[in-house]
Amino acid sequence: MSTKPVSLFKEFRPAELWPDDRGVHINAHGGGILLHEGIYYWFGEHKIEGEAGNNAEVGVHVYSSSNLYQWKDEGIALKVSEDPKSEIARGCILERPKVIYNQRTRKFVMWFHLEIKGSGYSSARSGVAIADQATGPYEFIHSLRPNAGFWPANVPDGLKKPLDNAEQAQLDGLEFPGCPVPHYPPDLLFRRDFVKGQMARDMTLFVDDDGTAYQIYASEENGTLHISQLSDDYLRSSGRYIRIFPGRFHEAPALMKWRGKYFLFSSECTSWDPNAARLSMANSLWGQWTERGNPCRGTKEQIATTFASQSAFVIPVADHHDAFIFMADRWRPENAIDGRYIWLPVQFENDLPFLEWKDRWDLNFFA
C-alpha cells in the first residue's frame, strides 16, 4: 500500500487509503457532497477504531475541496452531545449524513439517520441540524419520524385507514429482525406507523432544479423506499410522499438526474456485507418508478457485490456535461475507521447509467 499521500496525485484511487491535507485517511463514511460557491464539501460519519466505531462517538466530519481529489480537513461539523439525555448523545447511531443549502433561509441543512442510544436500530428516525456556514458548526434542531399523520400519495383510498384489530393482530406476531423477511406484509406497516410517523433508516437528500428538496429513505422495516418532499425551509417533511418498490428491501439510496430523468442507485439489504447494486428510473420523482437491473459491469464477484461496496451518493461534477461520480463505501465493521471509499465514474449506454471498476482515474474521463 502506498504511503505517499494520494492527495499529491490528481486522481481517484478507489479502495486505497485516501489521505487528507494532513496525511490522515479521510474519515467521512456513508457520506454525501454539497457543492456551494465552487467548493465541494464532503460530509460523512466520523468513525473510530474497532467495532465501537460503528456507533457515533464523535459526530459528522466535513472536508472541503476545489477539485474532488485533494481534501482539507475542516473538522467536526456536527458533534455528538455529552448530555446523555440528548437524542444525539455520544454512542447513538448517526448514519448517512447529507447537507443541502436552502437559498431562501440561507441555512445549510443536514439530515441523517438517527438511532437513539441503547435502542439498536428500532428508533428509525431522521435527525436535522442547521448551520450558517457550510463547514458548521451545525446545531441539532430535532429528530422526527417523517410524515406523521399523512397518507402516501400513491396508495388507493381504501388503504388510507388505520389497521383494524385483525390486521394489528397479524402484525403482533411478526418480527422484523433483519432484512428480507418472507412474511413481509406490504400494505400494513405504513398504516401501523401513520400516527407515529414513518420509519426512516438509510437515507439521502436530493434538491431538484426548482429548489424543492426530497428525502429518500428506507422505511417500513426497510422493506419499502419512500420519496418524501421536504418543507420549504428543508427542516421537516412536508406530508407529500410516495412509497416505491414495496417489499423489495432497497437500501442505500443515491439519486441523480440526467437529461430530465431520475436514476436511483440502491443496494439490497445485508447489513455491512456488500451485495448487488440496483438501478431504478422514473420520468418524475412522483413515479412511475421501474427497476432496471444491476448497473455494475465486470467480474461475477464485482457485479454481485458492487465492487465490494454499498452506494452512498452520486456527485454531479461541476463544469462538466453528463459527469457524475458514484460514491460508495467499502465498510470495515470490525475496524470501522478503516472503511474505504469507492468512487467511480457513471457511464451511459442506451440512455441508462452503468458502472465499471477503475484502479485509477481522473476527471479527464469526462472530457
Q: Which residues bind ligand GAL (CB under 6 A)?
A: 30, 95-96, 202, 251-252, 271-272, 310
State the virtual CA torsion across 59, 62, 68, 71 in degrees, nearest 10: -110
Residue whose grid cell is 406507523: 193
CB-wise, 213 or 336, nearer to ligand GAL? 336
Q: How far is residue 65's CA from residue 362's CA, in Å, rounded to a whole number?
A: 15
Contact predicate 113/201, CB 8 Å:
yes
Q: How far is residue 31's CA from residue 194's CA, in Å, rounded to a whole number?
A: 29
**Shortest distance, CB of residue 337 to ligand GAL, whole angstroms?**
15
Contact predicate 240/251, CB 8 Å:
no
CB-wise, 134 or 327, nearer to ligand GAL? 327
**Shortest distance, CB of residue 36 to ligand GAL, whole angstroms?**
25
CB-wise, 328 or 344, nearer to ligand GAL? 328
Q: Which residue lies nearest ligand GAL, judged by its C-beta?
A: 271
CB-wise, 96 or 117, nearer to ligand GAL? 96
Q: How far is residue 306's CA from residue 265's CA, in Å, rounded to a whole number?
A: 11
**Shortest distance, CB of residue 331 to ligand GAL, whole angstroms?**
7
**Shortest distance, CB of residue 96 to ligand GAL, whole angstroms?**
6
Q: How far is residue 58's CA from residue 45's CA, in Å, rounded to a whole number?
A: 9
**Shortest distance, CB of residue 272 to ligand GAL, whole angstroms?**
5
Cα distances from 340 to residues 7, 14, 29, 244, 309, in angstroms, run: 15, 8, 8, 30, 9
Who contacts 274 (Cβ-Cβ below 8 Å, separation ≥6)? Answer: 267, 305, 306, 308, 309, 310, 330, 331
CB-wise, 35 or 181, nearer to ligand GAL? 181
CB-wise, 27 or 310, nearer to ligand GAL? 310
**Shortest distance, CB of residue 47 to ligand GAL, whole angstroms?**
12
